[in-house]
Each structure stands twice: as structure tokens, then as C-alpha cells.
């Protein structure tokens, strides 16, 4: 591990060199999805960037163990511990049981998660599997004086901490404190405005579908406790990296730290990796905002999910990213060109070890520099242009794809098998026609879409919508 692996740590608000607790090993925790609805492409952006982080760490020689929870209970419609449980609302909406809803949307989540080339976490743990762990942690927090019972619920007492707003600068702390004070939905049981619920009882939510016996009466856990406990169950008392989207910073991760550090009596997690949001033109995407744009839906429109991954990798994880079909179409063109370029490589001669090592070092430098994925892609383009033989270039594509996961070699082989040797004018025409057809399908103008298909056929080009996107062959 000669290289320094660096990324932005929300805790120190600086780009830091990563140093794990145990040499060569990484204990990583990821906040998983709430499974009351489909995961939108914004959620999936977050998981793509985490996947790249993991694979980059592995590329650098680390062994990563990653744990993810599934929030199938306890996440209320407001982060301020108020409102209806999202799972219960989902079940009511769809006339299903809460567990049916959870299973259905967990499966849908992983379908999209896999389709964009992500590696599954080593452990996936639904919150409802760990109720006894939650009760044990809440009991200990009560014993240690960090929690209190009021109005049938158990609350975490944030005034017992030296620094509750660990993630924030002095200015932000002021603003957050004001924001919390201004919270309209007041819970009179709380001693401090920032206190949060560890365990709800039936005294507060009569219609909660899932309830468990506890020392405080029949009830269910708060949202934050699940991540502290699931992380502890599978990764122990010390965590290297905790991941999530920027919306998780407050209150979720702030409260996770409060619980875990009060429970363990020492610092818990050293690095916090937060990726920024995907927005559409009208603002942030959200599950509760009606129509949900999913990876599966993009696939139905003819886009290869890996084109969406490529789109995400082209920009930096800490910047907000705006989604539009025009932007996605640009990524599609670039991806197709890349695949075409790779398909032209012939596995001739021997790999030049020195050139390969040189480019691999550049690639590693890019990803270990706060996960500079667009630079990593530039290194790939540079390698394809380099003054070396095709065997070396192919070896480099294969090597970089361990992190990028764009399935370039397989896609190139499919393209080569299709026997597509056409002149560049025809190729430009085909690409343009495919883009126009995608637009037409998006606008539900199927007559135009069919006409474009016929137009292509007239030029001897047949197109097919496959799981991998639109594929064309000469007939
Ligand atoms: P949720 O299922 O809502 O808990 O979200 C799952 C993950 O997606 C969390 O890590 C969120 O921080 C993240 N997330 C939520 N909205 C967005 C968005 N618009 N863009 C990117 N990530 C998001
Ligand atoms: Zn979490």
C-alpha cells in the first residue's frame, strides 16, 4: 500500500489520509434503504459512489467488510420523530402487510442495485431482525444516564453530551440550534429540543402494525438506533468508515454517533463518507414526492443501467448532480464510443508490464485522491490512446473495470460478435437514430419510434432492445 488513500471526512471537514484501525482491513457501514417504496435513481447514485469507494479501497489493497441495514421499521415521515411510520403508510397505500411491503421493495431495490454493477454488501440486515439488540442498547443507555423515559417513550438525552453537533462548524451549530428550536411539531416529553426517541410505545402510536414487547411496554424502535446496533452486531465497537447521503448527516448520523459513543464510552467511527444528491430540474429527488424515476424505468426506456453508472462516474461524488435525459444521452454516446473503441482492440502479443504498472499507478492516484472518478475515466482514455500494444490496453481496461464496473470487455465482445464494421457516417446516423428513438419512446410517441426502427432497417440495420440497452446489427 504505497499510495496514500485520501477522501473527504465529514467529521474533520478536510480531505484526510485514510488509516484503518486494523492494518489492511476496512470495517464499513452503509445506511441502507427505507423499503416502503422504490429506490429512485438518486438513491442509487449514492450506492454507486459507495461501490466505487469500496472497489477503490480494494484496488489499493485493502480488504473491506461492509454491512448494510434495511430500514423496515421505525422511520417516521418526519426526521423530527413525528408523523406516521413510512412503512405503515406504504402498507396502507398498497393494501398489503408491512412485511409484504418490505420484502417487495427490498427485492426491487437489489434488482436496481445489482443492475448498475454494484457489489452486494457482505452483510445485509433488516432492522426487524435485531429487536433484542435495540432493547439491550436502550437499556444500557438508560443505566448510564444517557436516556430517560417520558410519556411512554424512551428518549436520548442530548444534553449529556459535550458535543452533540459533531459534524458542524461553529456557525452551523448556531443555525442548527435555532432550526431545532423552531421546530413546529413539539414533543412536550422531550427535555431538550434535540433529544430523540430510542423506543416508542403503543401509548404514542396506536396503529403501528409491528410491535414488540420491551421493558417499557409494547412498542417499536426509533430509526437511528438500528444503525448503531446493526453496526455493533457485525463490526464490533470500532468502525473505520460510515457511508450515507448528505441528508443523513443530520439528524440521523449525528444521533447514531450520540448513541454509539454514549454506549461504548469511546470514539466509534473515524471516517464519515457522504455523497451529494442527484437532483432533477425541479430540485432534489425524493421517495415521498410522487412519481419515482427508477433504474428499472430507465431500462424499460432502453437505457443500459451501466450507462447510468457511467453518467454518475463522470462527476464528483461531493457535488450535486442534475439528471436530465439530455445528460444521460450524452453519457450514452460516450459509453457506446468507449465500448466501440475497446471492441477494436485485438489481444495480440504480450502485455507490457511496465506500461501497465505506470497506468495502474495513475488510475490508483485518481481514485485515491478523494475518489476522482472523472480523472480515473480520463486515465482510461489515455491508456486507450497510449503508444503500446492492444494486449496491454486490454489488460488495463480489465484492470480499471474492477473499480469502474462498466462491463466494458463483455459489451465490446457482444458488439464485435454482432460484426459491426460500418463506416463512420453510417455509425453517426445509427447513433443519432437510436437517440431520437429513445426520445420518442420517452415522449410515448411510439409511432415515431417505430418509424425510426423502419428507417434503420431500410439502411440494413436492425436494432434490438435488450437488458443491456439498445443493440444494433447489420442484416
Ligand atoms: P432512503 O431510502 O430514503 O433512506 O435513502 C437511501 C440512501 O439514499 C440514503 O443514503 C440517502 O442519503 C440517499 N439519498 C436520498 N435522496 C437522495 C438523492 N436525491 N440523491 C442521492 N442520494 C439520495
Ligand atoms: Zn443509518
pTM exceeds 0.85, yes or no: yes
Best probe residue, ligand 1, of 29, 227, 247, 249 (max atoms within 8 Å of C-beta):
247
What's the CATH code, domain 6-275?
3.40.50.620
* Closest ligand 1 atom to Cα of 32: 6
Query: Do 138 and 154 contact (CB within 8 A), yes or no?
Result: yes
What number does the ligand 1 atom closest to the CA of 279 have?
A: 19
Give the closest residue to 442 by CA, choosing from 324, 321, 282, 283: 324
Nearest protein Cα to ligand 1, atom 22: 43
Q: Which residues line ligand 1 (CB under 6 A)?
A: 31, 33-34, 42-43, 45-46, 244-245, 247-248, 277-278, 284-285, 287
217: left (phi over 0), alpha (psi -120 to 50) or beta: left
Strands 25-30 and 469-474: unpaired
Does the pLDDT of residue 179 top 70, yes or no?
no
Give me the pLDDT at residue 148, please. Answer: 98
- Please tell me the distance between residue 241's alpha carbon and the centre of ligand 1 in angstroms: 18
Nearest-Å Rg of the Cα atoms of the chain is 25
Instruction: Tell me what percent of the residues of the chain surpass a pLDDT of 70.
Output: 91
- Over residues 431-457, the mean pLDDT reads 87
Kindly state the cell numbers that stand for 92: 396502507
Minimum mean pLDDT range among 162-171, 180-189, 310-319: 180-189
pLDDT of residue 20: 98
Return the pLDDT at 79.
60
Asked whether residue 141 carries a pLDDT value surpassing 70, the answer given is yes
Q: Which of 39, 40, 43 to mutate to test the pocket of ligand 1 (most atoms within 8 A of CB)?
A: 43
Q: How far is the CA of 110 from the centre of ligand 2 (A)?
A: 18
Alpha carbon distance 445, 316 (integer Å): 35
Q: What per-residue confidence (pLDDT) applies to 93?
A: 85
Q: Give the 3-state DSSP-derived string for the chain, with helices as H, strands as E and coil as C.
A: CCCCCEEEECCCCEEEECCCCCCCEEEEEECCCECCCCCCHHHHHHHHHHHHHHHHHHHCCCEEEEEEEEECCCCECCCCCCCCEHHHHHHHHHCCCHHHHHHHHHHHHHHHHHHCCCCCCCEEEEHHHCHHHHHHHHHHHHHCCCEEEECCEEEECHHHCCCCCCCCCHHHHHHHHHHHHCCCCCCCCCCCCCCEEEEEECCCCCCCCCCECCCCCCEEECHHHHHHHHHHHHHCCCEEEEEEEHHHHHHHHHHHHHHHHHHHCCCCEEEEEEECCEEECCEECCCCCCCCCCHHHHHHCCCCHHHHHHHHHCCCCCCCEECCHHHHHHHHHHHHHHHHHHHCCCCCCCCCHHHHHHHHHHHHHHHCECCCHHHHHHHHHHHHHCCCCHHHHHHHHHHHHHHHCCCHHHHHHHHHHCCCCCCHHHHHHHHHHHHHHHHHHHCCCHHHHHHHHHHHHHCCEEEEEECCEEEEEEC
- Rounded to the nearest angstrom, the distance between the alpha carbon of 46 and the centre of ligand 1 is 7
Is residue 429's pLDDT more than 70?
yes
CATH number for 303-408: choose from 1.25.10, 1.20.120, 1.10.3470, 1.10.10: 1.20.120
* pLDDT tens-place string over residues 150-178: 998 999 999 999 999 999 877 677 777 76
Please say if the pLDDT value at position 97 is more than 90: no
Residue 14's pLDDT band (boundaries 50, 70, 90)?
A: very high
Ligand 1 midpoint to CA 289 (Å): 13
Helix 86-94 to helix 98-115 angle (10° resolution) is: 100
Domain segments of the chain: what residues?
6-275, 303-408, 424-474
98 falls in which pLDDT band (50, 70, 90)?
confident
* For residues 302-331, average pLDDT: 96
In the prediction, which pLDDT does 205 show? 57
Q: What average pLDDT does range 422-439 have in this prediction? A: 82
Average pLDDT, the chain: 90
Ligand 2 mean position, distance from CA 248 (Å): 7
pLDDT for the residue 206: 60
Tell me what the mean pLDDT of segment 366-371 comes to: 98
Cβ pair 235, 27 in contact under 8 A:
yes
Of the pLDDT bands very low, low, confident and very high (cuts 50, 70, 90), residue 468 is low
What is the mean predicted confidence (pLDDT) over 456-464? Answer: 78
Supply the residue whose CA is at minimum distance from atom 12 of ligand 1.
245
Q: How far is the CA of 230 from the centre of ligand 2 (A)?
A: 9
**pLDDT-based confidence at 370, cuts 50/70/90?**
very high
**Backbone phi, then psi, for 28, in 5-degree steps?**
-125, 140
Least confident of 276-285, 445-454, 457-466: 457-466
pLDDT band at 278 (very low <50, low <70, confident <90, very high): very high
- pLDDT-derived band of residue 256, with 50, 70 and 90 as boundaries? very high
Residue 475 has pLDDT above 70, yes or no: no
pLDDT recorded at residue 379 = 98
Q: How confident is the model at residue 2 (pLDDT cuts 50, 70, 90)?
A: low
Query: What pLDDT is stored for residue 41 in this prediction?
Result: 97
Q: How far is CA 277 from the centre of its chain?
A: 10
Q: Mean pLDDT over residues 291-315, rounded? A: 95
Amino acid at each position: 500500500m504505497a499510495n496514500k488513500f485520501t477522501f473527504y471526512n465529514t467529521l474533520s471537514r478536510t480531505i484526510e489520509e485514510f488509516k484503518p484501525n486494523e492494518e489492511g482491513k476496512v470495517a464499513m457501514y452503509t445506511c441502507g434503504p427505507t423499503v416502503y417504496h422504490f429506490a429512485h435513481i438518486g438513491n442509487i447514485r449514492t450506492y454507486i459512489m459507495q461501490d466505487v469507494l469500496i472497489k477503490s479501497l480494494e484496488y489499493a489493497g485493502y480488504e473491506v467488510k461492509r454491512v448494510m441495514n434495511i430500514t423496515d421499521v421505525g422511520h417516521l415521515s418526519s426526521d423530527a420523530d413525528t408523523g406516521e411510520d413510512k412503512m405503515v403508510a406504504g402498507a396502507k397505500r398498497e393494501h398489503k402487510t408491512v412485511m409484504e411491503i418490505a420484502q417487495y421493495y427490498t427485492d426491487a431495490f437489489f434488482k436496481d442495485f445489482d443492475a448498475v454493477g454494484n457489489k452486494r454488501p457482505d452483510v445485509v440486515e433488516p432492522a426487524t431482525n435485531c429487536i433484542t439488540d435495540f432493547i439491550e442498547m436502550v437499556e444500557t443507555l438508560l443505566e448510564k444516564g444517557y436516556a430517560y423515559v417520558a410519556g411512554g417513550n424512551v428518549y436520548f438525552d442530548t444534553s449529556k453530551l459535550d458535543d452533540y453537533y459533531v459534524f458542524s462548524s461553529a456557525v452551523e451549530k448556531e443555525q442548527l440550534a435555532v432550526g431545532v428550536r423552531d421546530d413546529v411539531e413539539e414533543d412536550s416529553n422531550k427535555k431538550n429540543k434535540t433529544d430523540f426517541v430510542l423506543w416508542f410505545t403503543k401509548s404514542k402510536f396506536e396503529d403501528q402494525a409491528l410491535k414488540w414487547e420491551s421493558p417499557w411496554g409494547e412498542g417499536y424502535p426509533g430509526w437511528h438506533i438500528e444503525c448503531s446496533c446493526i453496526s455493533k452486531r457485525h463490526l464490533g465497537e470500532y468502525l473505520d468508515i460510515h457511508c450515507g447521503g448528505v441528508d443523513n448527516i443530520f439528524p440521523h448520523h449525528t444521533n447514531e454517533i450520540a448513541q454509539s459513543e454514549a454506549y461504548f464510552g469511546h470514539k466509534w467511527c473515524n471516517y464519515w463518507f457522504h455523497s451529494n444528491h442527484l437532483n432533477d430540474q425541479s430540485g432534489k429527488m425524493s421517495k415521498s414526492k410522487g412519481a419515482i424515476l427508477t433504474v428499472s424505468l430507465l431500462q424499460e426506456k432502453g437505457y443500459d443501467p451501466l450507462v447510468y453508472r457511467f453518467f454518475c462516474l463522470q462527476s464528483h461524488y461531493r457535488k450535486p448532480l442534475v439528471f436530465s435525459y439530455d445528460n444521460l444521452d450524452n453519457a450514452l454516446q460516450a459509453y457506446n464510443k468507449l465500448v466501440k473503441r475497446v471492441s477494436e482492440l485485438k489481444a495480440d502479443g504480450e502485455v507490457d508490464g511496465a506500461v501497465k504498472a505506470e497506468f495502474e499507478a495513475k488510475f490508483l492516484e485518481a481514485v485515491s485522491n478523494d475518489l476522482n472518478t472523472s480523472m480515473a475515466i480520463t486515465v482510461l482514455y489515455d491508456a486507450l490512446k497510449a503508444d503500446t500494444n492492444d494486449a496491454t490496453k486490454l489488460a488495463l481496461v480489465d484492470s480499471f473495470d474492477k473499480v469502474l464496473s462498466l462491463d466494458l470487455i463483455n459489451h465490446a465482445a457482444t458488439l464485435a460478435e454482432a460484426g459491426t464494421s460500418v463506416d463512420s457516417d453510417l455509425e453517426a446516423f445509427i447513433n443519432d437514430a437510436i437517440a431520437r428513438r429513445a426520445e420518442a419512446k420517452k415522449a410515448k410517441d411510439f409511432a415515431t419510434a417505430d418509424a425510426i426502427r423502419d428507417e434503420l432497417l431500410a439502411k440494413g440495420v436492425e436494432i434490438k432492445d435488450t437488458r443491456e440497452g439498445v443493440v444494433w446489427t447489420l442484416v
